[in-house]
Amino acid sequence: MLKVKETVKNIKSLYLEDERPWIIGLSGGKDSTCVTQLVYNMIKQLKPQEKKKKVHILSSDTLVESPFIHKRIINTINKINVNSKKDNIPIKAKILTPELTDTFWVNIIGRGYPSPNKWFRWCTDRLKIKPMSKYIFEQVKINGEVIILLGARKSESASRAQTMSKFEIKDFNLRKHNDIDGAFIYTPIEDWDLKEVWAYLLQVKSPWGDNNRELIDLYKRTDEECPLVIDKSTPACGSSRFGCWTCTVVNRDRALEGLIEDGEVWAKPLLEFRNWLKEIRDDPLMREKIRKSQKKKKIIADFWGEEFNAYEHRGHQTLGPFTLNARYEMFRRLMELNKKLSKQHIELISSEEIKAIQTIWAYEGGNIESIQDIIDKRGIEHNTELKEKFEKICEDSNISPDLIQKLLIVENDYSNLSRRKGLYNRLERVVEEYIFSNIEFKNEE
């Protein structure tokens, strides 16, 4: 308890020192919970006139979090907001999510990004770093500087200790943020060991009403958690109970395996789907032969009878994105899984993501007949008279009905926007994609 008192004293001193707002990263794990609880209890004990500094508690929802952890985080955030208001302390908790264009399903099923691995971990930046960085940037813009509180501890690993020491500002207990000027890192429990963290959580009741003993169950088979991710040096969390259930960076998803072993049999289809995503990653039958950036160059080279050399990595030709057929299969399997888990009140993909995926397919030359939701909104396929007129106009003008359908999709996407900037560029991309796809198809014949 002496260490707890010393830590609280340091936290209080820094809190009262200036008006720079604090941002606390709360993953729901032991370390971040410990820091959040220390800060909450410290502010609660202050005099009313001292409770001036705003504290932002942020949790990152990648939209592919473990369903069990997802529910727990939502409940915790809600409890913190209710109790901080009741206790009259300047704390506001918030859940951050990635932009629609950055979500896991829009990228892997929509754009065909290969399943993430340790060499191509595209998910971390889009799902975690960008939402957090955007929020931090906004606060820096408003306040000039901010302080970010993390639950990092030096005793976790030698690499963690080295990273923490690298950006340390002597005599200030702060470190510079790797990428954001005006943002500083504060790690109040950096010198605590594992036993001290657990001792505090089990002896000091959660001020917002969570049961800290439930955390013990989450750490039965792993002692890892996903902290607030603020740069690309943070390791993958697939072996943690607090990581994404879709994580294919690690060889085995011990988080899902642990849940199933604990009797959560509903998680078995999730594990099977995740393992399938990892299995098909390097299957040449599921991937394009070349990258998207090379496709146009190859078609032009073939058209003029010139030699084309594809990118190579370590002596092997690099594969392109997942094929459209592979993406259709992913979508079909995901929707079946989503239907199965609806009984558990779990939604794996949103309607907005589905629309974004289908629109991307149209942009990339996908079969318009496979995009039923978008076709239904046009009304052409369900109105015989309109369909006949539409096809007659296309025939008389010598224009493909399929191309017009794709252009209509783009127009519809921009129809509800007050500013339609970029519409013509989008239309040109669809026309260009259609032309090159047809050239490629004829060459293959």
Distance, in Å, from the CA atom of 32 to the CA atom of 348, rounded to the nearest integer, reads: 26
What are the tens digits of pLDDT across the range 353-389? Answer: 988 888 888 777 766 555 554 444 444 444 566 677 7
The tokens of 94 are what? Answer: 């918030």
DSSP state of 250: S
- Rounding to the nearest 10 degrees, give the CA dihedral for residues 68, 118, 279, 61: 20
3-state secondary structure of 412: helix
pLDDT of residue 302: 57
- Enumerate domains of the chain plus CATH numbers: 2-276 (3.40.50.620), 365-445 (no CATH)
pLDDT cut 90: percent of the chain above it? 46
Residue whose structure tokens are 């510079």: 176
pLDDT of residue 381: 47
> How buried is 135 (Cβ within 10 angstroms: 0-12 exposed, 13-18 middle, 19+ buried)?
middle
DSSP string, 139-166: HHHHHS-EEEE----GGG-HHHHHHHHH
Q: Is the pLDDT of residue 256 over 90?
A: no
Residue whose structure tokens are 């026309």: 431
Residue whose structure tokens are 């949790």: 59
Mean per-residue pLDDT over the chain, rounded: 81
Q: Is the pLDDT of residue 239 over 50?
A: no
Task: Report the amino acid identity of residue 28.
Answer: G
Distance, in Å, from the CA atom of 225 to the CA atom of 65, rounded to the nearest integer, reads: 12
pLDDT of residue 289: 79
Which whole number is the average pLDDT over 300-312? 58
Q: Is the pLDDT of residue 280 over 90?
A: yes
pLDDT of residue 344: 84
